[in-house]
Structure 1
Amino acid sequence: MKLGCSRFLLSCHVLLCLSAIWVPATADVPVAHLTGCQAKCGEVDIPFPFGIGEQCALHRGFNINCTTVNGILKPFAGYVEVTKISVPDGKAWINATTMSWRCYDVATDTMSYQNEGLDLRNTPFWVSEVDNKIIVIGCNTLAYMRSFPYVIGCSSICEDVTLENDKCSGAGCCQADVPKGVRYYNGYFNTNYNATKRCSFMAVMEKAAFKFNTSYTESTVFWDTYNGTVPLVLDWLAWPSTCDVAQNMSSYACASTHSECVNSTIDEPGYRCTCAVGYKGNPYVQNGCQDIDECLEDATLCVSGSGTCTNTAGNYTCSCPRGKDWANGSCQSHFPVIPVVGTTVGLVVLVIVLACACMIQERRKLQKMKRDYFRQHGGLILFEEMRSKQGITFKIFTEEELQQATNRFSEQQVLGQGGYGTVYKGVLEGNVEVAVKRCKTVDEQQKKEFGKEMLILSEVNHKNIVKLLGCCLEVEVPMLVYEFVPNGTLFQLIHGNHGLRISLATRLGIAHESADALAYLHSSASTPILHGDVKSSNILLDRDHKAKVADFGASILAPTDKSQFITLVHGTCGYLDPEYMQTNLLTDKSDVYSFGVVLLELLTGKLPFNFSQDVAAREKSLSMMFMYAMKVNKLEEILDDDIKNEESTEIIEEAAELAMRCLEMCGDNRPSMKEVAEKLDSLRKVMQHPWVQRNPEEMECLLGEPSSMVSSTITSAECFSIEKKAVNGLQSGR
């Protein structure tokens, strides 16, 4: 088989295949089913709101082309074949040519790559996170799916392991979950991974359609099995507006009586229609939701109790012969009043006794389950350690306490969501505001070490680090309780559309406080802690714009064993340390690199990664754009307009030089976080001095390294005098 240009050209169409612009017409869209429209294409039903031709579809996003392929009629959305459409489930099945591959070329003795992807933006579709998986096939293969802000994948090996059919857990095959709400993605291979001279493959595909076969790791068997085209399940919405808005519009798509509107489950406005309980059919057409005849569909209804089933609108009833009534699932005879009352009272007492017994049994089961979870997560070890250490403020919360604090984890209390879990705002007794983090998953090794790790994190005490107040261990996945920081994130301050001007002094202050916090974690905490996910959205701001670093437990809660790091890749585009991507080993210098990107955000006001297809390759990554600007001496062109015209040019240049050192490709060449914090502190103090911004030579004395005085026109003695004057000025407040 030849994986070459023809397949590449076809893959280019995939990025355009479903991108029919999802823009509803300005005129009202008719929602009744149109007469004269084709109901099927070949063997595939085409239900409304889909239609063959724009005039037969609800809008252009649901337009289907019925095309003859090898003598067989097949439906296509753009260049992608549609194999099934489900209106009740809001899903569509397609055959997508999105399989990425990497193969050894014997002729050139090199590895050839083809990275495929899918773009569903500006369409009513997204990749179903329930029905699909990220599948990686190959030996010594690390591949991942990139979709902002996610980088998710896994690695598979063949050496020293046994490959088994139908088992995809790292031996020749691995899989990872698809994030929620993915509208576009691209597949990538880690080119620095020690690849074998075989073919490797990566695909996002329907999990029910995939079964691993050990032969897939040989040559191109996996590609040949699917012919490079994998089944994929898409979720869809009928209209890009919420139910509250849509129900007041004449173009409301839920046309049938007994239909209901269901809001989007992803973070975008939209809705789809469904039939009410007791009805089935197509809610998008007039009278499309028809009553379900439960008696006809289930002939056993009422029969076991000697009753007769009668269908009603949206339900059914069971009736009995004369002299009997339907009760407790059967036809009951009429009895004299006294025996009936006695029997009823007896039954009521019996039911109450049984209910109480069941409640007690269930409560015991629940308590036992909570105790088991508490032990699994190291709660006993944590409790004993807390007793042995006097004055510790760390608290172990109950599940009920946190449920009450967060209004039963209401969606209205959500502060944010990330790769590790969801954060809720809560209010404890005494009106103490907190942030409660519900972690998504925890593996067996983490369960054993969790209590010990919580004790380590509880001892972290720094004014610029969000304080960990406690945890809840009596649930399947532990919950963490942090102090509440009210003023949002640094990401929102820099990139939010709030119209505020952020001064250079404020930016340097936030940078110094964040660096000081990371330096504390690396070297001053009782046990050194690697943050592992430094980014502007993990730096919170209080009411005075003082920085507080959050999620500092990510590296401890994340896998710490080398093999586990290689198996699962998590990160945020734009902040990932390139050395970590090559070695899969997290170090303190990985945090330094990520902080360098945060420093660039503060200086430029730009996003760390630009996913737009219309920009040059070096402009996609903020760090690459910055390095190029520094190389050609055009730093000013990428600076934020708010600081571009400030007089403190030397300070900005010093900060840029510091960022360059942090972004060194080799971790050994990067400064420590302590060095970074000290440098930013000196810049911040110089910035505060009222007379330091006029004389470049004075700036050289206060900012320059000793070696920088060699070419200076000012003497060491004069420089010493200037430094002394600056110190006296700061002390006197002048």
Structure 2
Amino acid sequence: MHPYPIDCASNASHHSFAIFHKEVVEDMNYSCLSPVNLPVDVAVGVEALLQMNYTEILKMGFLLNWTAQNCSKCEKSSGRCGFKNNEFVCFCSDRPHSQSCDHDNSWNWKRKIVIGVCTAVATVLIMCVVFFVYQRRNRKQYAPSSFVSRSIFSKQTSMDDMEKGSTYLGVHLFTYGELEEATNYFDSAKELGDGGFGTVYHGNVRDGRAVAVKRLYENNCKRVEQFMNEIEILARLRHQNLVLLYGCTSRHSRELLLVYEYIPNGTLAEHLHGERAKPGALPWLTRMNIAIETASALSYLHASDIIHRDVKTTNILLDNNFCVKVADFGLSRLFPTDVTHISTAPQGTPGYVDPEYNQCYQLTSKSDVYSFGVVMIELISSLPAVDITRHRHEINLSNMAINKIQNHALHELVDTCLGFESDYRIRKMIIAVAELAFRCLQSDKDVRPPMPDVLDELKRIQSKDFDKEKAEEIDISTDDVVLLKSDPLPPPLDSLALNWISSSTTPNGSG
């Protein structure tokens, strides 16, 4: 309390004072009304008190008691008890002195309730917004970009449908845990190979099947597109020379995994010039079957309007009977039927990429034909498509082959273990396959034969009766017989190949 004395009445014999709160004095121009008698407790006797003036009495101090209604309620609201116009007033310490706290307590509680409810609602809304943004970002991370003949919407819808069941288009959905268990937690000892998009592991799933699990390197938009692309292509294709897709994980899985049938005998590259290569272990007739089965798989893809884009010996798998399974459709493209080519940045493996595609960015089925031409030369020579240890003009096997054939030196290219010098039939078959490969390796795509024609020609070469042809060659004039006896084998490149070389610049109508 801050007492302020006001001299209300003054005469020679009597002075009366009133004691007020500071707030009352500051709030109003006070004028004394009627005298107020209140009991005052002082620490001196009456006689001494009568001899003192009012100033001395006030300095000495006293205790003034009165009773006010609702003072406890006022104090709870941080107010101060007092009177105004002969009525009880609760003065607020944090408000202008003209305002009171009589109704502030209930108002404060209402305000607190409203603020609390609004705060709770705002918190819930903020949490919802944060969760929504997180979900959108998470979906965007996995959403694939569209490609040639498929829109983002159809892709998203098909993948959402796939995740509603345990299969999609006959493709089983595996959990990440199942494939971890199948590969012994992706044990490095189970690695089968390493490619541009991922590592492949050998494993056994719970139903006992041996599988090859491709584990994509990164889980981003580009990888999801490749992941979905391969699923869509393989799920709808059935051919005895295409690797079978057993299943995959969901696109929302911890990692993107593809599950294929396991082909136990490695790749063609390994048998030709890799870890499994042994002299004479892959005879020519087996290589001829491999060429025919690979061409059959590629012809089927092209008939289905699909371009493989990465034909190479490391993507040609062999089973224990050396039957072909063409694999790795990570770069495959669905080819629209209403266009002649697709413009896209060159992708593929050095040594196998179509030079016209590399220069013009125009992908066609003839790009696969060029790559298969390199494969045929590998089958003939047992040499890798690229080898930087070779002469600079022969680093690319395709360039080496063209030069050898044009210079009548095919025998320098052929693997000596194939019987080229000792077996008439094998020699004639190798020459015919080299001629076909030469046609496939032409820089001008229009000169290259289509894949169905390549397949037909390989079958013709395989089935041709070269023994009869040999007998017909022997049944000629005596002078020629003498010549043949001295050299029973035909020259390194027969007349048909020479005729082709001389006219190879003329576009082929069937190409």
Q: Structure 2 length as normaliser, TM-score?
A: 0.57
Partner of 2:200: 423
Is 1:537 aligned to residue 317 of structure 2? no
Q: CA deviation at 1:414?
A: 0.8
Q: CA deviation at 1:616?
A: 3.2
Partner of 2:278: 499
Deviations 1:562-594 (A, max 9, x none): 99943xx54322212111210123221111111
Match of 2:266 among 476, 482, 488: 488
Q: What is the identity, as a one-letter code, of the residue corresponding to 2:397? A: L
Larger radius of gyration: 2
Provide the C-alpha distance between the structure 2 equivalents of 1:387 and 1:697, rounded to a whole number of angstroms: 68
SS at structure 2 position matched to 1:436: strand
Q: What is the identity, as a one-letter code, of the residue corresponding to 2:348? A: G
SS at structure 1 position matched to 2:213: strand
Q: Identify if the C-alpha distance between structure 1 residues 379 and 453 changes in structure 2 by more than 3 Å, giving closer, same or farther.
A: farther
Provide the C-alpha distance between the structure 2 equivalents of 1:500 and 1:519, rounded to a whole number of angstroms: 31
Contact 2:197 2:330 in 1 (8 A): no
Contact 2:183 2:202 in 1 (8 A): yes
For residues 695-734 of structure 1, the aligned pairs below 5 Å read 695=471
Q: CA deviation at 1:451?
A: 4.3
Provide the C-alpha distance between the structure 1 equivalents of 2:457 and 2:382, rounded to a whole number of angstroms: 21
Contact 1:453 1:556 in 2 (8 A): no
Q: CA deviation at 1:670?
A: 0.7
Match of 2:288 among 508, 531, 541: 508
Partner of 1:519: 299
For residues 152-551 of structure 1, the aligned pairs below 5 Å read 372=139, 376=143, 378=155, 381-382=158-159, 384=161, 392-441=169-218, 444=221, 447=224, 451=228, 454-472=231-249, 473-475=251-253, 478-496=256-274, 498-501=277-280, 502-523=282-303, 525=304, 528-551=305-328
Q: What is the identity, as a one-letter code, of the residue corresponding to 1:619? A: E
Higher fraction of strand: 1
SS at structure 1 position matched to 2:429: helix
Provide the C-alpha distance between the structure 2 equivalents of 1:690 and 1:387, rounded to a whole number of angstroms: 58
SS at structure 1 position matched to 2:332: helix
Provide the C-alpha distance between the structure 2 equivalents of 1:449 and 1:418, rounded to a whole number of angstroms: 13
Contact 1:510 1:546 in 2 (8 A): yes
Match of 1:694 among 460, 470, 480: 470
Contact 1:539 1:548 in 2 (8 A): yes
Q: CA deviation at 1:372?
A: 4.9
Contact 1:374 1:474 in 2 (8 A): no
Provide the C-alpha distance between the structure 2 equivalents of 1:548 and 1:571, rounded to a whole number of angstroms: 19
Partner of 1:635: 410
Contact 1:489 1:541 in 2 (8 A): yes
Provide the C-alpha distance between the structure 2 equivalents of 1:490 and 1:436, rounded to a whole number of angstroms: 19
Partner of 2:21: none
Partner of 1:719: none
Q: Identify if the C-alpha distance between structure 1 residues 563 and 664 changes in structure 2 by more than 3 Å, giving closer, same or farther.
A: closer
Provide the C-alpha distance between the structure 2 equivalents of 1:418 and 1:684, rounded to a whole number of angstroms: 33
Q: CA deviation at 1:630?
A: 1.1
Provide the C-alpha distance between the structure 2 equivalents of 1:438 and 1:369, rounded to a whole number of angstroms: 25
SS at structure 2 position matched to 1:665: coil
Contact 1:489 1:538 in 2 (8 A): yes
Name whichever of 449-458 and 574-583 sits farther off: 449-458
Partner of 2:432: 654
For structure 2, the residue ranges without an aligned partner over 5 or more in a row are 1-130, 145-154, 335-340, 475-494, 500-511
Q: Identify if the C-alpha distance between structure 1 residues 447 and 391 changes in structure 2 by more than 3 Å, giving closer, same or farther.
A: closer
Q: What is the identity, as a one-letter code, of the residue corresponding to 2:184? A: N
Q: CA deviation at 1:516?
A: 0.6
Partner of 2:382: 605
Partner of 1:38: none
Higher fraction of helix: 2
Contact 2:182 2:205 in 1 (8 A): yes
Provide the C-alpha distance between the structure 2 equivalents of 1:460 and 1:600, rounded to a whole number of angstroms: 28
Q: What is the identity, as a one-letter code, of the residue corresponding to 2:259? A: V
Q: CA deviation at 1:438?
A: 1.5
Q: How many residues align?
A: 324
Provide the C-alpha distance between the structure 2 equivalents of 1:496 and 1:451, rounded to a whole number of angstroms: 31
Deviations 1:663-688 (A, max 9, x none): 000111111111111111122223xx
Q: CA deviation at 1:450?
A: 5.6
Provide the C-alpha distance between the structure 1 equivalents of 2:246 and 2:354, rounded to a whole number of angstroms: 30
Q: Identify if the C-alpha distance between structure 1 residues 532 and 391 changes in structure 2 by more than 3 Å, giving closer, same or farther.
A: closer
Q: Structure 1 length as normaliser, TM-score?
A: 0.40
Deviations 1:26-45 (A, max 9, x none): xxxxxxxxxxxxxxxxxxxx
For residues 565-584 of structure 1, the aligned pairs below 5 Å read 565-566=344-345, 570-584=347-361
Partner of 1:19: none
Provide the C-alpha distance between the structure 1 equivalents of 2:462 and 2:141, rounded to a whole number of angstroms: 46
Provide the C-alpha distance between the structure 2 equivalents of 1:441 and 1:430, rounded to a whole number of angstroms: 28
Q: Identify if the C-alpha distance between structure 1 residues 629 and 696 changes in structure 2 by more than 3 Å, giving closer, same or farther.
A: farther
Provide the C-alpha distance between the structure 2 equivalents of 1:462 and 1:563, rounded to a whole number of angstroms: 25
SS at structure 1 position matched to 2:211: strand
SS at structure 1 position matched to 2:266: coil
Provide the C-alpha distance between the structure 2 equivalents of 1:370 and 1:426, rounded to a whole number of angstroms: 34
Match of 2:396 among 607, 616, 621: 621
Q: CA deviation at 1:596?
A: 0.5
Q: Identify if the C-alpha distance between structure 1 residues 543 and 563 changes in structure 2 by more than 3 Å, giving closer, same or farther.
A: closer
Q: Identify if the C-alpha distance between structure 1 residues 469 and 459 changes in structure 2 by more than 3 Å, giving closer, same or farther.
A: same
Deviations 1:588-635 (A, max 9, x none): 1111111101100100111212202xx433222211111111111111
Contact 1:416 1:424 in 2 (8 A): yes
Provide the C-alpha distance between the structure 2 equivalents of 1:556 and 1:482, rounded to a whole number of angstroms: 19
Q: Identify if the C-alpha distance between structure 1 residues 480 and 409 changes in structure 2 by more than 3 Å, giving closer, same or farther.
A: same
CA RMSD of aligned residues (A): 3.7
Q: CA deviation at 1:532?
A: 1.1
Deviations 1:507-547 (A, max 9, x none): 11000100110111111x3xx22111111111000000111
For structure 1, the residue ranges without an aligned partner over 5 or more in a row are 1-363, 699-706, 712-734
Provide the C-alpha distance between the structure 1 equivalents of 2:365 and 2:342, rounded to a whole number of angstroms: 19
Q: CA deviation at 1:449?
A: 8.6
Provide the C-alpha distance between the structure 2 equivalents of 1:466 and 1:599, rounded to a whole number of angstroms: 20
Q: What is the identity, as a one-letter code, of the residue corresponding to 1:412? A: A
Partner of 1:682: 460
Provide the C-alpha distance between the structure 2 equivalents of 1:470 and 1:605, rounded to a whole number of angstroms: 34
Q: CA deviation at 1:639?
A: 0.7
Q: Identify if the C-alpha distance between structure 1 residues 535 and 634 changes in structure 2 by more than 3 Å, giving closer, same or farther.
A: same
Q: Identify if the C-alpha distance between structure 1 residues 609 and 627 changes in structure 2 by more than 3 Å, giving closer, same or farther.
A: same
Provide the C-alpha distance between the structure 1 equivalents of 2:181 and 2:400, rounded to a whole number of angstroms: 48
Provide the C-alpha distance between the structure 1 equivalents of 2:323 and 2:243, rounded to a whole number of angstroms: 11
Provide the C-alpha distance between the structure 2 equivalents of 1:542 and 1:623, rounded to a whole number of angstroms: 27
